[in-house]
Structure 1
Amino acid sequence: MTLSIALLVPWLAGVLLIAFDGRKPVVAWLGVLALAAGAAAQVVLAVEVFSSGTSRVVTGGWPSGVGIDLRADALGVTFALLSSLVLLAAATHETIGRVRSRTFPGLVLLVATGLTGLFLTADIFSFYVFFELAMTASYALSAYGGRRRQLRGAVIFTAVNLLGSFIFLLSVAGAYRVTGALAMDQVAERMGEANPNAATMIAVGFFVAFCVKLGLFPFHFWLPTVYAGSRRAVAAILSGAVANIGAYGLLRFGTGMFAEQLRAAGVALIILGVASVLYGGVLAIARGDVAEMLAYSAIGQVGYVLVALGVGGPVGLAAAVLYSVINSMNKTLLFLTAGARGALVAAAFAVGALSVAGLPPAAGFVGKLELFRTGVSAGSVLLLVLMLFGSALSVIYMFQVYQRSFWRPDTVAVGRPSPLPQRLLTALLAVVVLAAGLWPEPLLAVSGHAVDVLLAGRST
């Protein structure tokens, strides 16, 4: 019951609110309330899953294969709850500052519906349907603000990601042609009996589609324009919530359905991940604008997830899950503070900068430690050196942007502070990032449970 409620709440609220004028405070706050209700349902669901195990239901009482097959396990509920909280924070931030588009609250709720559905579905066609729902709403959100820069970014974002969606749909059709199934469990079971060349081509298709969503090098070319051109709340949504589709997809599809192909491509994934880390880091140093720096930083940071996935095994997968969660928290915090003013904002940005750089006591320090454990388990000194170099780059560009934005007296950060509720919200997010670094056991436990689910599914 809780599983269905977690999906129905944002869906019904989104369909309802899209018809009203979101610029009216009452409508905007109703959207925030609906997001909070959906997140609360997911908290209850997460408690059930982590205490009692996987929950599964077919909507409408239909037989499996006809109705939408929903499955809440440790991996899916972690990404669903994380994305909902990011959307809640971004929507609250924008509502405090004043919503500028009538469709904004409804679109955010539709993004929440799509993300919740794809993280909690158990078949690949439903994944595609929810995937498209989330992306269609994201296309419209990327134009939010209506300025030339935002409209240009929306066109690029739509064109590139439609190509990624088309590749994903072709891969779904290929998986069905080869296995005769759409349920993830059945596809995983039958893929091992399929023609190896066909299975590899399907796996490559899914990989490209998810890498486009993540903005990994060399599929990154759309990301800087979109992230830098979007309003802060939208950039936080795209980087902290929508980008989770890519990380989750690589984990779920790669480990669950294409385990052999993942093992065979391990070295290639590590090389692509390291290239993304170094490319994003070097380009971030060269940027003077905060939003552009954060955009290139996003390219570099997701490279660590790909490195951990390429190493594989319990240690690598746990690091990939953990760093995906921490990276989402970091990007949400930093994009919401970019361009804002006030001492609280400066302190919050400093916490986010420490976390991205992997310095204590922020959560990023724990994430980098797990990544270095991954390098040790791989037995590669070169990989450790490259990861250390990538971390050094992040220290440099985060220090540079903090100095430009909050230390120099002639910066835009000096002057009239942002609204107090916005400053308090960013301070709260910074406290969460700090708390996750000072008390990392819950995050480590969550990532451990998620990996158990992945490995259990691979062994069946």
Structure 2
Amino acid sequence: MLMSVALLVPWVAGVLLVAFDGRRHVVAWLAVASLTATLVLVSVLAADVLGGGTQQLVTGGWPAGVGIVLRADALGVAFAWLSVLVLLAGAAHEAVRRVRSRTFPGLVVLLAAGLTGLFITADVFTFYVFFELAMTASYALSAYGGKRRQLRAALVFTAVNLLGSFIFLLSVAGAYRVTGTLAMDQIADRMVAVNPNASLLIAAGFFIAFSVKLGLFPFHFWLPTVYAGSRPAVAAILSGAVANIGAYGLLRFGAGVFPGQLEKTGVALAVLGAVSIVYGGVLAIGRGDTAEMLAYSAIGQVGYVLVALGVGGPVGLTAAVLYSVVNSLNKALLFLASGTRGLFIASAFAIGALSVAGVPPTAGFVGKLELFRTGVVAGSVALVVLLVVGSVLSLVYMFQVYQRAFWREGPVAAGAASPVAQRLLVAVLAVLVLAAGLWPEPLLALSARAVEALLVEGPG
């Protein structure tokens, strides 16, 4: 029942809010209230799942295989909670000052409905439906602001991600063709008996679709234009919430549905992740604009997730989950801070920058520590060296952008101070990143529980 309510609240609220003028303060704050209610519902659901185990529900009382099957496990609720939190921060950041589009508040709430749905569904077709709902809202949000730069970003984002969606749909059709089912657990069981070439091709299709969403090298070409061209709140939403589709998809489909194919291609995935880390880090150093630097940084940071996924096993997957969460918080904090001026913002941005570089006592240090542990367990000197090089690159470009933005009179430091509520919102995210580093046990335990649920639900 709670899963259905958690989906219905943002869905109904989003449909209603889209019909009203979001530029009115009352509409913008109604969207914030709806997202807050959704976050509370997902939090209660997460507490139930972490306390009592995975929950499953077939909507409408239909038998399994006919009705829509919802399943909430530790991995799904972790990504759902994280994504709604980022959406809430982005919506509140705009509502404090002035929303510039009549549809912005409703679209953010509809995006919450799509993301929550795909994180707690148990079959690939329903996943695709929620996937498309989330992406449709994202396409419209990427044009938020209406200027030429935003419209160009929206065009690029829509064109590339529509191609990714098409590849995903082809992979869904292929999985159904060879297994005769759309349920994730049944696909995982039956895929073992499928021709290896066919199963690897289907798995590759899912990998490409999710890599496009995540912006991994060499599927990254759209990301700098979109992240740098979008307004800070939208860039925070795209990088901190929408990108979670890619990270979650790689984990859920890679380790949960195609574990055999993941094991066979682990080295190739780790190499792609390594290239993404170095490529993103090197290009970020050469950027003079804060938004462009953060965009190229995003390419490098998601490489760590792919490296951990390529190593695999409980240790590697735990590092992948943990770093996905940390990276989402980091990007949301940094993009929002880059669009905010005034007291506390320099300190908040510094916390996010140190977290990206993996400097204690931030959450990023915990994430990098788990990645180092992955390298040690795997016995790979090359992986440990890569992590050191990636961290050094991150520290260099973050120091450069901080120096330009806050030590000199730059676009972030100059101008009138942002409203106090906007600055407090950024400060709260910074405190959350800092708290996760000072008290990492809950995040570590959540990541371990998520991987445990993922491995238990793999092919039996």
Q: Residues 100-249 of structure 1: matches in 2 within 5 Å? A: 100-249=100-249
Over residues 358-411 of structure 1, what are the superposed CA-to-partner deviations in whole Å (9 max), with x where a residue is unaligned? 001110000000000011111111111111101100000000000000011455
1:73 maps to which residue?
73
CA RMSD of aligned residues (A): 0.8
Whichever residue aligns with residue 176 of structure 1, its letter is Y
- Residue-by-residue CA offset, 1:338-371 (whole Å, 9 max, x unaligned): 1321131111000000100000111000000000
TM norm structure 1: 0.99
- Give me the whole-angstrom Cα distance separating, in 1, the residues matched to 2:45 and 2:267: 37
Letter in 1 for 2:329: M
| Segment of structure 1 superposing worse, 446-455 or 59-68 | 59-68
Kept in 2, the 8 Å contact 1:114–1:131? The answer is yes
CA distance in 1, matches of 2:187, 2:166: 20
Can you list the C-alpha shifts for 1:297-350, whole angstroms capped at 9, x where unaligned? Answer: 000000000000000011000000000000000000000011321131111000
CA distance in 1, matches of 2:356, 2:224: 18
- Superposed counterparts of 1:29-428, under 5 Å: 29-409=29-409, 412-428=412-428
In the TM superposition, what is the alpha-carbon distance from 1:60 to its structure 2 partner?
1.6
Superposition deviation, residue 140 in structure 1? 0.3
Contact in 1 for aligned 2:363/2:433 (Cα 8 Å): yes
1:9 and 2:9 matched: yes
Q: How many residues are matched?
A: 460
Supply the distance in 2 between the matched residues of 1:259 and 1:296 (Cα, whole angstroms): 30
Contact 2:6/2:38 (<8 A) preserved: yes
**Cα separation, partners in 2 of 1:117 and 1:410, compared to 1, 3 Å:** closer
Q: Distance in 2 between matches of 1:103 and 1:65?
A: 36
How many Å separate the matches in 1 of 2:391 and 2:278? Answer: 9
After TM superposition, give the deviation of residue 412 of structure 1 in Å. 4.4
Q: 1:341 aligns to what SS in structure 2?
A: coil
1:454 aligns with 2:454: yes
Secondary structure in 2 matching 1:86: helix
SS at match of 1:48: helix
Moved more, 410-419 or 392-401: 410-419
- Give the corresponding residue for 2:26: 26
2:315 maps to a residue whose letter is V
Unaligned runs of 5+ in 1: none
Aligned-partner residue type, residue 303 of structure 2: G
Conserved in 2, the CA contact under 8 Å of 1:351 and 1:430?
Answer: yes
Alignment-mate amino acid for residue 119 of structure 1: F
Q: In structure 2, give the amino acid aligned to 1:82.
A: L
Tell me if structure 2 keeps the 8 A contact 1:339–1:413: no
Deviation at residue 416 of structure 1 after TM alignment: 2.1
> Match of 2:345, as an amino acid?
V
Q: 1:27-53: CA deviations, max 9, x gaps? A: 110011000001100000000000000
Instruction: Tell me by how many angstroms 1:257 deviates.
Output: 1.1
Alpha-carbon distance between aligned partners in 2 of 1:162 and 1:411, rounded to the nearest angstrom: 34
Q: Is the 8 A contact 2:227 2:291 kept in 1?
A: yes
Secondary structure of the residue aligned to 2:70 is strand
> In percent, how many aligned pairs have the same letter?
74
Name the amino acid aligned to 2:187: V
Instruction: Report the residue type matching 2:311 in the other structure.
Output: V
Separation in structure 2 between the aligned mates of residue 411 and residue 248 of structure 1, nearest angstrom? 34
Give the whole-Å Cα distance in 1 for the aligned partners of 2:319 and 2:410.
41
